[in-house]
Structure 1
Amino acid sequence: MKHHAYTARIRWTGNTGQGTAHYRAYTRDWEVAVPGKPPIPCSNDPMLGGNPALMNPEDLLLSALGACHMLWYLHLAAEAGITVTAYEDTPEGTGELAPDGAARFVAATLRPRITLKPGADLARAEAIHHEIHKVCFIARSVNFPVSIEPAFRIGG
């Protein structure tokens, strides 16, 4: 087994001058930065008092899941001789909130819209989606089911 190391810096930026003196004294804003990359301003889920204009942890997890699937799809399609000319996804996650306030994802659905060059093997293009769960780092790491509802278009 080969190991990979990842690092990030998470920094709270929501101190409005009082710190956490009380629940409404601060904002839920924060930023994530990875060495050598620009920081991404984030917040909490708006349902929990976060800024709706900023990414939240749930957005980032769902985006990472969709991006990992996409990158593996492109890789496996290239290996299979299938030329992808466009790929777009609108993933959706379903969460549940327990009475005690604990929350979790219970499912996610990826909905990739993929444009293939004419002559592509559509059956093989579809089958690739079902191979990705074996290799996608993020999909292999989450503990909820992920379904895929792809749609294909033949074009340039």
Structure 2
Amino acid sequence: MHEARVIWQSSGDFAANRYTRGHMWRFDGGAEVAASASPSVVPEPMSNAAAVDPEEAFIASISSCHMLWFLDFARQAGFEPRRYEDRATGALVRKDGTTWIPRVDLNILVTWAVAPDADTHTALHDQAHHACFIANSVKTEIVVNLLEDAP
């Protein structure tokens, strides 16, 4: 069982729709994260641009899950990634009265001790994608783009 507490305290004029959307995420391991509606959805000052919004957290959780599986599969295959960076992106889209994130792009750059060939690298990401709990839990299309390490 996983647990996340979401804690909000009223501040502002709630009836006039001028209240804070800032809140706190508290996780079972003790971490606390400032959270808010995205300023692209709720204008500041009712939102907090410095806080994590649900859309960012959704994209980050997909990216993080993929990375953790990828690292494990790389280890099992005898490869040693030295650095992994993903600039994951996704955008809210409104269609037929529903707003959602239909696609997340994982834009991944891996630096290796000794790099596998391109097919093996791609296969490790494919394995990770299919194993990822989060990817298996959403209807969003997840696209893996492998970036080349600049010399």
Same fold (TM over 0.5): yes
1:151 to 139, 144, 147: 147
2:22 to 29, 40, 55: 29
Structure 1: tracts of 5 or more residues without a match: none
Q: Does 1:81 align with 2:78?
A: yes
Deviation beyond 4 Å, 4+ runs, structure 1: none
Q: Aligned-pair distance for 1:82?
A: 1.2
Query: Which residue is 1:44 aligned to?
Result: 37
Report the residue type matching 1:123 in the other structure.
D
Q: Is the 8 A contact 2:93 2:99 kept in 1?
A: yes
Cα distance in 2 for residues equivalent to 1:99 and 1:118: 48
Between the two proteins, what is the percent identity of the paired residues?
Answer: 28
Q: Does 1:123 align with 2:119?
A: yes
Partner of 2:123, secondary structure, is: helix
> Once the two structures are superposed, what CA deviation does each residue of 1:44-86 show, in whole Å capped at 9, x if it has no partner?
0112222211110000000000000000110000011111000
Cα distance in 2 for residues equivalent to 1:153 and 1:47: 33
1:142 to 138, 142, 146: 138
RMSD: 2.0
**TM-score, normalisation: structure 2:** 0.88
**TM-score, normalisation: structure 1:** 0.85
Report the residue type matching 1:42 in the other structure.
A
Query: Which residue is 2:90 aligned to?
Result: 93
Q: Aligned-pair distance for 1:6?
A: 1.0
